[in-house]
């Protein structure tokens, strides 16, 4: 009687582990999506963002943008709250300001190039306000997600980079 009861308990435990494992594996993909990304960046479907001025684009998912937001919060938020630039307020992360930089930073490659070698707004010299983001620190695919978040926020987020929210 006792061995049979132990076998039943063992079977129950194995069944529960299997069910919970299945549920955790089959959880919906959008579980890792930041609510801000879904609500304010309007990225419920993959969105196409400009990679360069030649018209090349790349699709970014809401998970990609959520990763980009997380990277932004960890690495950029001290100086760029809400898309503003606290050390130099005239140069925000608003879309028109990004487009007016030299070289322009209103596409993924423009933002990535800036992050890899930070230059002043007019492109005349290195700037030390932003840290240089090396390939070792942030591989290309990762830094593109950060750039995608900044670009999409500049395009869609209410109050992003504007003086009056």
The answer to whether position 17 is within a domain reads no
The answer to whether position 7 is within a domain reads no
Identify the band that residue 32 occupies on the pLDDT scale cut at 50, 70 and 90.
confident
Number of domains forming the structure of the chain: 1
Give residue 27's pLDDT. Answer: 40
Residue written as token pair 């209103």:
106
Range of 45's domain? Answer: 29-156
* Residue 119: pLDDT over 50: yes
The answer to whether position 16 is within a domain reads no
The answer to whether position 12 is within a domain reads no
Residue 37 and residue 153: Cα distance in Å, rounded? 9
pTM over 0.85: no
The answer to whether position 3 is within a domain reads no
Identify the band that residue 20 occupies on the pLDDT scale cut at 50, 70 and 90.
low
Closest to 43 (Cα-Cα) out of 135, 153, 123: 153
Residue 126 maps to which CATH number? 1.10.760.10
Q: For residues 122-136, give the mean pLDDT.
A: 93
The answer to whether position 63 is within a domain reads yes
The answer to whether position 136 is within a domain reads yes
């Amino acid at each position: 009687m006792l061995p049979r009861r132990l076998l039943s308990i063992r079977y129950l435990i194995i069944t529960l582990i299997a069910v919970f494992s299945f549920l955790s594996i089959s959880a919906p993909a959008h579980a890792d999506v930041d609510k801000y990304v879904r609500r304010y960046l309007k990225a419920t479907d993959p969105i196409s963002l400009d990679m360069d001025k030649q018209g090349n684009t790349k699709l970014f998912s809401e998970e990609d943008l959520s990763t980009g937001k997380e990277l932004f919060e960890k690495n950029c938020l001290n100086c760029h709250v809400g898309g503003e630039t606290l050390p130099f307020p005239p140069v925000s992360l608003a879309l028109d300001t990004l487009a007016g930089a030299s070289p322009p930073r209103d596409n993924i490659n423009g933002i990535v190039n800036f992050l890899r070698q930070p230059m002043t707004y007019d492109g005349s010299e290195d700037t030390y306000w932003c840290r240089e983001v090396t390939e070792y620190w942030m591989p290309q695919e990762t830094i593109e997600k950060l750039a995608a978040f900044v670009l999409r926020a500049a395009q869609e987020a209410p109050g992003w980079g504007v003086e009056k929210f």
